[in-house]
Amino acid sequence: MMPRSRRVPFIVANWKMHKTRGPAEQLARDVVRALADVRGVDVAICPPATALEVVGRALAGTPWLLGAQTMHEEAHGAFTGEISPTMLLDVGCRCVILGHSERRQWYGETDEALTRKVRSAFSHRLMPIVCVGERLIEREAGQTDVLVTQQVEAAVVGVGEQSEVPLVIAYEPVWAIGTGRTATGEEANRVAALIRWVVASRCGAAAGDAVRVLYGGSVKPDNIKEFLGQPEVDGALVGGASLDAAAFAAIVRAAERARS
Ligand code: PEP
């Protein structure tokens, strides 16, 4: 049997651009209720920016983390429409998703921007949840490993060996996001091992061992076991299924069982 990892499983909900404040607060309260007796799993809820405050209120007094879906790297300035790390901290965020493929695809976010944002998150003590992953055309061209390596290196360049802020990297093959298709557990494990190796070679063995690597892409209650059964996969980044409290709770409970 595979030795169990010492890393605490982490399940992250990405609500994307869904839910105005009332329904967001209701969903957060439903999630809190559904997770009432869950232990030994870290959970983050990342609602849209306008709902951060109400969702933060619903999460108050629970162990669950409030997270944002993106941020600008500067603390303040003339950047119309952007949200800064200090603003996220002010509203109670503890983590932030960075480099999501939808940010890369629709808003032209580059690896260079990712480098700046990850550095900024670390310096503001916000836990970065960095998304990496290949598009279908890149997978078919055999470029998955080169591309993922490049994205992970962009994320961790300049992050020293001594950072006290934990790092999370989500392997999200772009072709699996919101499509109902998933990578196999075996392939998710292989790429997760590659990600860990890149972090270890850039930031030291301890960082490689500590980084939590999540799988993301059409995770549902009925397929989560396949990913959590992999020794290199420490949890999941969940989009669509996180908008349903019962489905999301079932995923978190699977993580609780997998490591108990
Ligand atoms: C995501 O938003 O990162 C994601 C993985 O979405 P979905 O679970 O809907 O594929």
Concatenated DSSP letters of 226-252: HHHTSTT--EEEESGGGGSHHHHHHHH
Say if ligand 1 is within 6 A of residue 219 CB. yes
Q: What is the pLDDT of residue 159?
A: 79
> For the chain (length 260 residues), average pLDDT per consecutive 10?
72 98 98 97 98 98 98 97 98 98 95 95 95 95 97 88 82 94 95 97 92 96 96 97 98 91
- The single-letter DSSP state of residue 188 is H
217 CA distance to ligand 1 middle (Å)? 5
Query: d(Cα 245, Cα 242) in Å, to the nearest integer?
Result: 7
221 secondary structure, DSSP code: T
Count of C-beta atoms within a 10 Å radius of residue 222: 12
> Which atom of ligand 1 lies at the shortest distance from residue 220's CA?
8
Q: Which atom of ligand 1 is nearest to the CA of 131?
A: 3
Among this protein's residues, is 100 annotated catalytic? yes
Ligand 1, atom nearest to 100 Cα:
3
Task: Give CA–CA dist 28/115, Å, rounded.
Answer: 31
Q: Is the CB of 174 under 6 A from ligand 1?
A: no
Q: What is the pLDDT of residue 1?
A: 37
Residue 259 has a pLDDT of 74
CA 191 to chain CA centroid, nearest Å: 16
Q: Is 172 considered catalytic here?
A: yes
∠ Cα 79 82 87 (to 5°): 110
Report the alpha-carbon angle 155-130-159, nearest 5: 35
Instruction: Establish whether residue 217 lines the binding site of ligand 1, counting it when its CB lies within 6 angstroms of any ligand atom.
Output: yes
Question: For residue 160, what pLDDT is reported?
Answer: 67
Which residue out of 237, 242, 243, 244 has the highest number of ligand 1 atoms within 8 Å of its CB and is therefore the one to mutate? 237
Token output for 50: 């306008």
The pTM of the full predicted model, rounded to 2 decimals, is 0.96
